[in-house]
Amino acid sequence: MFKPTNALFGGLLWKTPWRLSSPQKARQRKRLRAVDSVVDTLSAALARNGQSAKAVERWYAEMPREEEMLPKDKYTLFDKKEKSYRKSIHKLPKWTRVSQRVNPPGF
Amino acid sequence: MSFFRITLLRSAIGLPRRSTDVLKALGLKKRMATVFHAVSPSVAGQIMRVKELVSVEEVDRRLTKQEVHLQRKPDPGYYVEKRAEQERSEVNGLKSRPGARDR
């Protein structure tokens, strides 16, 4: 259903701010740490039973932890269409429920 | 033998269908639902698919639905004097039984 709003009637009206606020960044860090702790729990439990899982090992091999990440990677992501090749992470659809940690090297 | 205590904290609405299907396979139907699964690589792989949505703990045994409910139930702020002894022994029994391993 079309709902006439200033944003949809054309013109330059951005309703989403271009950068994250500091509480948003704090919550983003909290979510990153929560995912880290889930993976740590899985790996510790499996190790205690002498088992391992491919997905867990792959995560450790490829993904940085929250404290190892640069602020740049925590709050922004690569976008080839941007002038600085970076846009804020809240432009990513479902950004609070997906893991987006690595970006192309050099950008 | 230890178990994963998995609680669904965020819903999978709007996420790819695979995420919803994995939650269904784990038996998580709504937010704050808790399930127990034996520690195994296949369960770990399933949790990895929905790691942003759940919280996981390793526990020694499966808790029953009533026990999970009692853990979440807030303190009523009063007690019935006639049943005080019995209630205290129940609460102590619940505390002394090994629930979580890493807390």
Give the closest of B40, B42, B57 to A41, CB-based. B57
Residue A63 lies in domain: 22-91
**Residues pairing with B56 in the sheet:** B6
State how many domains chain A has. Answer: 1
A11 band by pLDDT with thresholds 50, 70 and 90: low
SS3 assignment, position A57: helix
Look up the pTM and report it: 0.81
What is the sign, positive or negative, of the torsion defined by CA atoms of B14, B18, B24, B28? negative
pLDDT digits (tens, 9 = 90+) for A16-67: 888 999 999 999 999 999 999 999 999 999 999 999 999 999 999 999 999 9
**Nearest-angstrom CA–CA distance, B62 and B68:** 10
The ipTM value here is: 0.82
Enumerate the residues of chain A whose CB falls inside 8 A of the CB of residue B38: none
Please check the confidence at residue A81 and state whether its pLDDT lies above 60: yes
Q: In order of start, what are the domains of chain B with their CATH numbers?
A: 3-96 (3.30.1390.20)
Enumerate the residues of chain B whose CB falls inside 8 A of the CB of residue A52: 41
Q: At what angle do helices B17-26 and B41-49 cross, to 10 degrees?
A: 140
**Nearest-angstrom CA–CA distance, B44 and B51:** 10
